């Protein structure tokens, strides 16, 4: 069957909180969102943007002030948490410490009074799916952090939920393990074919795993898109700054030709191919450091130049990050592979940029309203 593009529908979800000082916070400000069946979707945003509130509302640990949540066409907001076909994996694995791995994983089936034979078989299957077969008899304290999180995952998938919610499940793990688990989680989701809603404030994690990313900004959705769209064509300055390294320049179109436009950014001129821009229009431009280089042959397509005064060079393995400032004093950075000449602080560098990689951020920064 064709996956429904609206398997989960969040419809005008609104939730306020009172601060101790008597103020009002719109933790969720009239959010609408559709999620397809078997999609890996990530809620991304800084601390306090409303990620956890949305997850708790879907799980049934928190209520909406207004709006609705539909799963496969049915409203679920009147159902208590334990009746919803939804499970949650938390950052703290929340395993029962006195129970074996097998009893932790099988807990939901024991509650549902599934017979022992089927229960044991499904526990073994769930553990195999998370790469931990045969450890039923161990206690959580005898496992590493990564293994405990896999057990928590096995426990969350054993009763075949329609939807799995994951609240920063990898943030307690060290970096290498986290990278490995990111790939494993994505594989597990594909294998299970169910919808995962993943919460993180880590943009790299979001880019690695997601089919769609929802960027939240103060309780509103700034953008919904694939990792590629969010990274390359951010709709707002907030999204551009939150994802990846970014150079953002404000400027005004000062001349137009059939080739493109010249944009004056406080004394520094940037050339763009964006023919939709009008003479005199004020714009915000995004130029990622990887689309700039000291050597033109590292870049693709038409190029233009600008001058940067170098403040700092950082070696990051395959590349050098060059940090400095433009002639107008604004901070700027570039990523370059080779440096034929030694780089000296205070030096004026000619940087080439890939004209077609220049992205114009729409001037009206309206949030998506439901």
Question: Nearest approach, Cβ of 337 to ligand ATP (angstroms)?
Answer: 35
Which listed range, 43-51, 94-102, 121-129, 173-181, lies at the site for ligand ATP (CB under 6 A)?
43-51
Q: Which residue among 4, 38, 52, 250 contacts ligand ATP (CB under 6 A)?
A: 52
Which listed range, 40-48, 141-149, 247-255, 314-322, lies at the site for ligand ATP (CB under 6 A)?
40-48
Q: Which residue among 11, 38, 48, 135 contacts ligand ATP (CB under 6 A)?
A: 48
C-alpha R_g of the chain: 25
Of 214 and 287, which has the nearer Cβ to ligand ATP? Answer: 214
Q: Which residue among 13, 27, 86, 129 contacts ligand ATP (CB under 6 A)?
A: 27
Full DSSP string of 128-162 = HHTT-TT-TT--GGGS-HHHHHHHHHHHHHTT--S
249 to each of 265, 288, 318, 322, 327, how far by Cα in Å?
Answer: 6, 11, 27, 17, 13
Sheet of 212-217, strand order:
86-89, 163-167, 195-200, 40-44, 212-217, 220-225
Q: Counting contacts by CB under 6 A, is residue 220 touching ligand ATP?
A: no
Q: Counting contacts by CB under 6 A, is residue 171 touching ligand ATP?
A: no
Of 43 and 335, which has the nearer Cβ to ligand ATP? Answer: 43
> How many whole angstroms separate alpha carbon 84 and alpha carbon 163?
9
Question: Nearest approach, Cβ of 233 to ligand ATP (angstroms)?
Answer: 24
Q: Counting contacts by CB under 6 A, is residue 21 touching ligand ATP?
A: no
* Residue 11, helix vs strand vs coil: strand
Partnered with residue 360 across adjacent β-strands are 285
Question: Nearest approach, Cβ of 61 to ligand ATP (angstroms)?
Answer: 11
Q: Is 265 left (phi over 0), alpha (psi -120 to 50) or beta?
A: beta
Q: Counting contacts by CB under 6 A, is residue 84 touching ligand ATP?
A: no
The two beta strands, 220-225 and 282-287, are unpaired
Instruction: Quote the strand ranges of 316-363, DSSP E.
Output: 320-326, 331-336, 348-354, 359-361
Tell me if 303 sits within 8 A of 315, measured CB to CB. no
Of 132 and 214, which has the nearer Cβ to ligand ATP? Answer: 214
Question: Nearest approach, Cβ of 56 to ligand ATP (angstroms)?
Answer: 8
CB contact burial 2-21 (16+ within 10 A = b; e otherwise): eeeeebbbbbebbbeeeeee
Q: Is 168 left (phi over 0), alpha (psi -120 to 50) or beta?
A: left
Of 4 and 218, which has the nearer Cβ to ligand ATP? Answer: 218
Which listed range, 42-50, 236-244, 311-319, 323-331, lies at the site for ligand ATP (CB under 6 A)?
42-50
Binding mask 173-202 for ligand ATP (x = CB under 6 A): ----------------------------x-
Q: Counting contacts by CB under 6 A, is residue 251 touching ligand ATP?
A: no
Of 17 and 96, which has the nearer Cβ to ligand ATP? Answer: 17
Which listed range, 46-54, 155-163, 175-183, 278-286, lies at the site for ligand ATP (CB under 6 A)?
46-54
Euclidean distance between the first and the last CA atom of the chain, given in angstroms as a whole number = 29
Q: Which residue among 40, 51, 214, 231 contacts ligand ATP (CB under 6 A)?
A: 51
Of 102 and 219, which has the nearer Cβ to ligand ATP? Answer: 219
- The phi, psi pair for 256, rounded to 5°, reads -135, 140
Q: Counting contacts by CB under 6 A, is residue 159 touching ligand ATP?
A: no
Dihedral angle computed from the Cα positions of residues 173, 174, 176 and 177, in that order, rounded to the nearest 10 degrees: -20
Q: Counting contacts by CB under 6 A, is residue 45 touching ligand ATP?
A: yes
**Which spans of this chain sit near ligand ATP (rule: CB under 6 A)?**
17, 25, 27, 45, 47-53, 201
């Amino acid at each position: 069957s064709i996956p429904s593009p609206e398997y989960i529908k969040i419809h005008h979800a609104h939730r306020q909180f009172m601060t101790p000082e008597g103020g009002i916070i719109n933790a969720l400000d009239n959010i609408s969102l559709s999620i397809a069946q078997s999609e890996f979707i990530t809620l991304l945003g800084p601390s306090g943007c409303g990620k956890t509130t949305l997850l708790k509302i879907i799980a049934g640990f928190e209520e909406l002030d207004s709006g609705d949540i539909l799963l496969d066409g049915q409203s679920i907001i009147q159902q208590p948490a334990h009746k919803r076909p939804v499970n949650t994996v938390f950052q703290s694995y929340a395993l029962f410490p006195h129970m074996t791995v097998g009893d932790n994983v099988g807990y939901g089936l024991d509650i549902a009074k599934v017979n022992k034979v089927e229960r044991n078989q499904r526990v073994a299957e769930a553990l195999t799916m998370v790469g931990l077969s045969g450890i039923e008899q161990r206690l959580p304290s005898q496992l590493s952090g990564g293994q405990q999180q896999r057990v928590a995952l096995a426990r969350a998938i054993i009763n075949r939920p329609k939807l799995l919610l994951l609240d920063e499940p990898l943030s307690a793990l060290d970096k290498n393990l986290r990278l490995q688990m990111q790939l494993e989680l994505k594989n597990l989701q594909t294998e299970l074919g169910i919808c995962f809603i993943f919460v993180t404030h880590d943009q790299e994690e979001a880019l690695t795993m997601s089919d769609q990313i929802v960027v939240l900004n103060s309780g509103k959705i700034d953008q919904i898109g694939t990792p590629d769209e969010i990274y390359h064509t951010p709709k707002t300055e907030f999204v551009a700054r939150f994802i990846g390294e970014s150079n953002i320049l404000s400027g005004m179109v000062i001349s137009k030709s059939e080739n493109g436009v010249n944009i004056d950014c406080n004394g520094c001129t940037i050339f763009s191919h964006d023919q939709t821009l009008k003479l005199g229009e004020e714009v915000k431009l995004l130029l990622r450091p990887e689309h700039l280089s000291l050597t033109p042959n590292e870049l693709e397509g038409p190029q233009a130049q600008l001058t940067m005064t170098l403040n700092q060079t950082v070696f990051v393995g395959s590349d050098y990050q060059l940090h400095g400032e433009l002639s107008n004093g604004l901070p700027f950075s570039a990523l370059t592979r080779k440096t034929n000449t030694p780089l000296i602080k205070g030096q004026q560098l000619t940087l080439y940029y890939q004209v077609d990689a220049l992205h114009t951020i729409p001037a009206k920064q309206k949030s998506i309203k439901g």
